[in-house]
Amino acid sequence: MAEPVGSLLRRSLDHVEHEAPASYRHLLDTLGPLVIGIDVDGERFALRGGARLEVIDGRVGGMVDGVIDAVAGTHVALSRAAILAVLDAELGLAEAVETGRIAVRGRLDDVVRTHDTLIAYAHAAVRAPSVPALMAQLRGGSGGAP
């Protein structure tokens, strides 16, 4: 069974934190207080900041100890195949959004911040040599069309 994308994202952030700490801090600053809800082929998780970056499994906004845990400012829905197509440069990010292969919902300011966070993550990931190995895990669970 393929490793969940949320788990891969969590592991990649651990690598970035240790191997490219300046880029990790830049990513943390860029995300700021925003919580990004992500749906990859029905797998739901969220990315949030604070003292450090955290990947939360499941739908955000749930009740934890009687309080709302987090509320996503933006919601991003895409497939594992679409992620790979963008990372392999077969599909441009703008084209992916325009054609609906990546769906983004949220206030404009939050959508812009989500975009900036993605770019900051890409800058960080290319500086962490352990991250590319996770691509094989990501590919392992890809079967559909982008």
Partner 1 sequence: MSATTSTTRSPAVPAVLPSHDFLRTPLLATARPEGFKEWHHFLVQTRGRRILINFSLMSETLGAGPPRLVPRIIVVVHDGRWTGAVERFADADVSADLCTLSVGGSRMHIDPDGFRVVLDLPDRHIHGELLFTPGRRPSLGRVNNQPVGAGRISWLFVPRLTATGRLRIDGVEHRLDGDAAYHDHNWGRFRWGDDFGWEWGSILPADPADPWSVVFTRKTDRRRLRCLSQALYVWHHDELAAMFRDSAVRMESSGLLGRPPDCTLPAPMRLVLGSEASDVPAALTITASSAVGTLEVVFRPDSHARLAQPSELHPARSVVLSEISGTARVRGSIGDRGFDAPGTGVVEVLHG
How many Å apart are CA 60 and CA 80, to the nearest integer?
Answer: 20
Q: Which is nearer to partner 1, 68 or 93 (CB)?
A: 93
Nearest approach, Cβ of residue 102 and partner 1 (Å)? 12
Q: Which is nearer to partner 1, 10 or 115 (CB)?
A: 115
User: Footprint of partner 1 on this chain (CB under 8 A)?
Assistant: 18-23, 25-26, 86-89, 92-95, 118-120, 122-129, 132
Q: Are 60 and 71 in contact (CB under 8 A)?
A: yes
- HSE-CB at 33 with a 13 A cutoff on CA atoms is 2
Q: Which is nearer to partner 1, 10 or 26 (CB)?
A: 26
Nearest approach, Cβ of residue 15 and partner 1 (Å)? 10
Q: Which is nearer to partner 1, 60 or 131 (CB)?
A: 131
Q: Are 84 and 141 in contact (CB under 8 A)?
A: no
- Burial of 133 (C-beta count, 10 Å sphere; 0-12/13-18/19+): exposed
Nearest approach, Cβ of residue 22 and partner 1 (Å)? 4
Phi and psi (nearest 5°) for 103?
A: -105, 130
Nearest approach, Cβ of residue 66 and partner 1 (Å)? 39
